[in-house]
Amino acid sequence: MKPLSILILPALALPAALAVLPAHAAAAAGDDRPACSVHAKPGDDLQAVIDGVPADGKPAAVCLAAGEYPLQRLLSIQRDGLVLRGQGPTTVLRMRDGVQQPLVVIGDYENEEPARTIRGVAVEDLQLVGGQAEHEFVPERPYLSISAVVIRGGRDIRLSGLQASRCRSACLLSERGSQDLLFERNDVSGATWDGVSFNRTAKVRLIDNYIHDNVAAGVTTEHLEDSEIRGNRFERNGSQGIYLADARRNRIVDNQFLDNKSAGVFLACSIRYRTPEILCWDNSMSQDNLFEHNRFHGGPYTYTIGVDRAANCKAPDFKQNQWRGNEADASGFNPPVEMYGSCVSSL
């Protein structure tokens, strides 16, 4: 097999002025949000407060007053139906420098494969600031990334109105078969890797987020299915706005891709080996995704393609990615069609 192949075309000129979304909008309270069950203030032991909420199966909310909450270790949420709610960016959870742990874990963090599914949890209206950390993963638990929020085997989980920054790994991460997730109105920046990451995740709604100034991609996926990415602004990320590996049946609609370094979108396979050459898992090329009414400005390419002989776009049952009604000042293209097939269909 050959190394991962990427082919792009030169940029085309279109108008440079594009509208942008606000960086952060105040979250509107929904009628179904539980009232505060317990209150906490700076200086309280937040883990003890969370653990003290009765496990009676009823929805409950831990409400944090404004102020700084220095963390010495991760906060674990393992109770179904719990909301962790702040007062907006004035409520700050800040990890102490040198602590090699994420800030918040929703679900079982003690086992590599979660022992149970966690349901109905929300984290909302908080600022989350990572500390300086040497490693990307917890040394004693190498399966656990040093993120702002990690969702592990979650169902019906909501992250809303968060400001997340200074993350050693992806700031917001879902994994281990999580599904039915809503990420809305979050501001994510300053991650050492990607801003947001979806691994083995399905049925996500990523709506109206500002994901910017991360070292790698704004969003990265390793097997994302049946999800909606709508109304987001991906700006000044160090590689792509969105990196889609082994992604299927997703709708990417009405987003803005502004000044991302490599491309707006990278459509790729899931990498099996990186050395001595990049090789893909069989039949893992992203397919059957819709890109519609997005705006691309300031980056060198709208999209690039990453394929090889193990994962390409030539199989009879391969469903092309659809590119429809997008506005751009650059262009993208497939690798040689005779070698890898046509990965994108423009309508």
Does residue 32 belong to any structural domain of this protein? no
CA 194, CA 173: separation in Å to the nearest integer? 10
pLDDT tens-digit map of 116-158 = 999 999 999 999 999 999 999 999 999 999 999 999 999 999 9
Judge if 259 and 346 occupy the same domain.
yes
CATH code for position 60: 2.160.20.10
Question: Looking at the predicted structure, is the pLDDT value of residue 25 above 80?
Answer: no
Does this model's pTM top 0.85? My answer is yes
234 with 18: CB under 8 angstroms?
no
The answer to whether residues 196 and 211 touch, using CB atoms and an 8 Å cutoff, is yes
pLDDT value, residue 276: 76
Mean pLDDT for the chain? 90
Residue 145's domain comprises 37-207
27 within domain boundaries: no
9 & 74 share domain: no
Nearest CA among 295, 300, 305 for reference residue 328: 295
Q: Who's near 195: CB < 8 A, 6+ residues apart?
A: 170, 171, 172, 188, 189, 211, 212, 214, 217, 218, 219, 237
Same domain, 189 and 218: no
Kindly state the DSSP code that residue 249 receives in the 8-state scheme.
Answer: S
Task: Please state, as a whole number, how many other Cβ atoms lie within 10 Å of the Cβ of residue 80.
Answer: 18
Q: What is the 3-class SS of 72-119, one letter each residue?
A: CCCEEECCCCEEEECCCCCEEEEECCCCCCCCEEECCCCCCCCCCCEE
- List the helix and strand counts (H, then E) for the chain: 2, 35
